[in-house]
Amino acid sequence: MQVLVEGQTIRHELYGNGTIVECDNDRTTVEFDDHGTRKFVTGIWNAELVGEILSKPTRRRARRSKKVPKAVAAAK
pLDDT recorded at residue 15: 93
Domain presence at residue 17: yes
Number of domains in the chain: 1
Domain presence at residue 72: no
Classify strands 36-41 and 16-23 as parallel, antiparallel or unpaired. Answer: unpaired
Q: What is the pLDDT of residues 20-70, one digit of tens each?
A: 999 988 999 999 988 999 999 988 888 888 876 655 555 566 666 667 666
Q: Which domain holds residue 51?
A: 1-58
For residue 14, what are the contacts with CB-CB under 8 A and spacing of at least 6?
A: none
Domain presence at residue 75: no
More confident residue, 75 or 38: 38
Domain presence at residue 64: no
Quick one: pLDDT band at residue 5, thresholds 50, 70, 90? confident
